[in-house]
Structure 1
Amino acid sequence: MNPTLETERLLLRPWRDTDADDALGIYGDEEVTRWLTPAMAWVPDVQTMRDVLRRWQTEDVVPASHWAVERRDTGQIVGGAALVHLAPWKDLEIAWHLGRRSWGHGYATEAGNALTRWAMHRGGVDEVFALIGPDNTRAAATAQRIGMEWLGETDDYHHRRLELYRVRHQDLTYCDYDTEVTEQENR
């Protein structure tokens, strides 16, 4: 099971069945899902959302996992984040999905930084990729804030043209992993 990661403002924790309503507020919003690659489509109802959450809980193999992104001060779920393997390659993609009300607060950057650092320091990963639609300027800016470099366009992964970003372990700029991200054992 993936660990819970704690940042200054956020908890990245495993999704629970009881999160289905909150998750549907994100993945059931067409304005949010229009930006997601074909790997995550619009979810029509709470039962389908429960099924997706259960699939994530059973299919995830560390370091590839899905996390709920929760505000520490309120316990409100503001989005989701994931590290997923890009088939048929072993490349690892990072993704962040925020509810519209949570856009513009820096949560995607904070969650992306936490996952990137965790994957490289605890998950044994040397590089992480992001695939971003050509019109998704917000996600491209987030990738750059995480320290990712633009590698160009590709249609290798999802059978559509996407912008490819990458960050390698040696490219990370940070003080000390343990002061930025606290990893908690899940009970």
Structure 2
Amino acid sequence: MKNSNRNRPHYPKALLEIRPGVTFLEEIYRKVSVFSDRVIVVLGSDKDEILARVNIPRSEIVYNADFEKGMFSSVKAGLSRLSREKAFMINPVDCPGVRQSTYESLIRQWEKYPEKIHIPSFEERRGHPAIYPAGLVGEILSSPDDLGGGLKFFLEKEKDLILHFDTDDKGVIIDVDTFADYERFAQRF
């Protein structure tokens, strides 16, 4: 977590609690595992601490040794494990407030248009999670790690494939990046 106050210690976002006893990672896993038998969780610097404290029994853990390169390197680490999937969902751990019904609606939209990239939007602002067709895996994996903007750059390049899913779920645009964000998030949820 980026510290808005340098006096505060580093703390893995995955271990922040959405409610007492339930971490961000567990909440997202609970929602996503309903729809897929295969859930890939990419972890970096705090892998051991996170694994010791979360209950995500059927997940496949991928260690991203290049975590210092940012989120795009984690995306690529996870995608490198895909084989025969028709699509994949990218759900950052700092976006745990998405409603279960939003996942359901997003997946229903993907079922109608599987060749598209599906991105939820709240009041015309793009959010998370997003569903991508598996045919894009090779293109993403071959993109340079130092790709300016990572997925945002990739999405700009593939903008003709994007299908926005309008939702009233503000959780799709709430990222918890700082302690101040977490305090606001905790009051809302």
Whether the TM-score (by the shorter chain) exceeds 0.5 is no
TM-score by length of 1: 0.31
Based on CA coordinates, which of the two structures has the bigger radius of gyration?
Answer: 2
**Structure with a larger share of its residues in strand:** 1
**Structure with a larger share of its residues in helix:** 2
TM-score by length of 2: 0.30
